[in-house]
A and B are shown apart, each in its own frame.
Chain A
């Protein structure tokens, strides 16, 4: 069974740093893209970026470029997202998900063109003074 298990809830103060994780199992973790998605309290879903654990190629949503760093360690089947200086507006649930690529008629799949399945259980990050 393909499974993504995320690290536990975090409570941080503004200005602090943080790194949360997502561990995959049940499939070849290095060969599939992983995505991160933010959900602020009571709000919808926002795509943050994707990473290919095999070579750590990363692509960011323009809204999150420079705000977070996405990384992965294929030796431990784990992906990460980190902040160097948290703000109250970073309070949210963060989900990781496997990013399935859509393949065109020519058999080419483009990272960033695909859906998300399955999802991790989410990590709640609370930033408050």
Chain B
């Protein structure tokens, strides 16, 4: 399953709402999709699993939604620490976990 993330770069100001898209080449079974945040020089951090369940310690300004082939990560109000690269990952098939190419959220 190929995951396509859009846009490639999102330029926003602190306090604004960010909407990131992840589209799959075929349906992701059981909404088996996760989102990660990666800051420069750091390892990725799990934000969302099961398309909409927040990982432990993740602020509620992060939310995930979607099913089938279209998934969305929403950051309701951007904080300075939220500017980073975000990746989606599908795990709907054991034949191959795949990641999207990433969306960079940068300060406008």
Q: How far is it, in angstroms, between the C-alpha of A104 and the C-alpha of B92 when the chains are bound?
A: 11
Question: How distant is A123 from chain B, measured CB to nearest CB, in Å?
Answer: 11
Contact of A44 among B46, B91, B95, B102 (CB under 8 A): B102
Range of interface residues on B (Cβ < 8 Å):
20 to 34
Task: Tell me how many residue pairs across A and B have CB atoms closer than 8 Å.
Answer: 66
Contact of B32 among A62, A102, A119 (CB under 8 A): A102
0/1 string, A96-129, CB within 8 A of B gives 1: 0100101010000011111111111110000000
A95 interfacial contact with B, CB 8 Å: yes
Closest 7 CB pairs of A and B: A112-B94, A117-B46, A119-B43, A115-B34, A45-B99, A47-B97, A115-B49
B contact set with A: CB distance below 8 Å: 30, 32, 34, 36, 43-46, 49-50, 55, 87, 89, 91-102
